[in-house]
Amino acid sequence: MPTFDHESAVTVLGLGPMGRALAGAFLDAGLRVTVWNRTPGRDGELLGRGAASAASPAEAVAASPLTVVCVVNYDAADAVLRQDAVADALKGRTVANLCADTPSRARDAAAWAAAHGIRYLDGAIMSMTTTIGTPEAEVIYSGPEDLYREHLPVLETLGGTHTHLGEDFGRAAAYDVALLDIFWTAMSGYAHALAIARAEGITARELLPHAQGIGAIMSPIFEAFAGDADDGTYSGELNPITSAASTMAHVIETSESHGIDAGVMRAAEGQVRRVIGLGHGTDGITRVTEVLGRARR
Q: Each residue of 95-126: pLDDT tens digit?
A: 999 999 999 999 999 999 999 999 999 999 99
> What pLDDT score was predicted for residue 237?
87
> What pLDDT score was predicted for residue 263?
97
> What pLDDT score was predicted for residue 6?
46
Domain-embedded: residue 261: yes
CATH of the domain at 213: 1.10.1040.10
* DSSP per-residue letters across 141-183: EES-HHHHHHHHHHHGGG-SEEEE--S-TTHHHHHHHHHHHHH
Domain-embedded: residue 164: yes
Are 144 and 209 contained in the same domain?
no
Domain-embedded: residue 126: yes
Task: Note the pLDDT tens digit of each residue in 59-85.
Answer: 999 999 999 999 999 999 999 999 999
Are 128 and 217 contained in the same domain?
no
Are 136 and 225 contained in the same domain?
no
Whether the pTM exceeds 0.75: the reply is: yes
Domain-embedded: residue 184: no
Are 67 and 141 contained in the same domain?
yes
First vs last C-alpha separation in the chain: 52
Q: Domain end: 168, 190, 224, which one?
A: 168
How many domains are contained in the chain? 2
Residue 273 CB: number of other CB atoms within 10 A? 16
CB-hemisphere CA count at 13 Å for 31?
30
CA dihedral 178, 74, 169, 100 (to 10 degrees): -30
Rg (Cα) of the chain, in Å, rounded? Answer: 23
Are 164 and 59 contained in the same domain?
yes
Are 58 and 164 contained in the same domain?
yes
**Residue 4 pLDDT > 80, yes or no?**
no
> What pLDDT score was predicted for residue 297?
47
99, 52 contact by CB (below 8 A): no
CB-hemisphere CA count at 13 Å for 153?
11
Domain-embedded: residue 288: yes
Q: Give the per-residue SS3 of 188-254.
A: HHHHHHHHHHHHCCCCHHHHHHHHHHHHHHHHHHHHHHHHHHHHCCCCCCCCCHHHHHHHHHHHHHH
Are 208 and 102 contained in the same domain?
no
Q: Where in the sequence is the domain holding 79, given as residue range(s)?
A: 9-168
In sequence order, the 6+-apart residues with CB closer than 8 A to the CB of 293 are none
* Exposed / middle / buried, residue 177 (Cβ in 10 Å: 0-12, 13-18, 19+): middle
> What pLDDT score was predicted for residue 234?
94
Closest Cα to residue 60, out of 28, 105, 19?
19
Domain-embedded: residue 31: yes
Are 239 and 132 contained in the same domain?
no
Are 153 and 213 contained in the same domain?
no
Are 284 and 229 contained in the same domain?
yes
Model confidence band, residue 3 (pLDDT cutoffs 50, 70, 90)? low
Q: Domain end: 125, 152, 168, which one?
A: 168
Are 91 and 216 contained in the same domain?
no
CA dihedral 269, 284, 212, 194 (to 10 degrees): 10
In sequence order, the 6+-apart residues with CB closer than 8 A to the CB of 53 are 34, 35, 36, 43, 47
Are 220 and 134 contained in the same domain?
no
Sign of the Cα torsion 263, 265, 266, 267 reads positive
CATH of the domain at 53: 3.40.50.720
Domain-embedded: residue 182: no
Distances (CA, A) of 219 to 39, 192, 216, 233, 236: 41, 21, 7, 19, 18
Task: Note the pLDDT tens digit of each residue in 229-263.
Answer: 999 999 998 899 999 999 999 999 999 999 999 99
Domain-embedded: residue 193: no
Closest Cα to residue 289, out of 240, 225, 214, 199?
225
Closest Cα to residue 122, out of 149, 152, 153, 143?
143
Q: Domain end: 168, 192, 222, which one?
A: 168
Residue 110 CB: number of other CB atoms within 10 A? 22
Angle between helix axes 171-199 and 103-115 (nearest 10 degrees) is 150
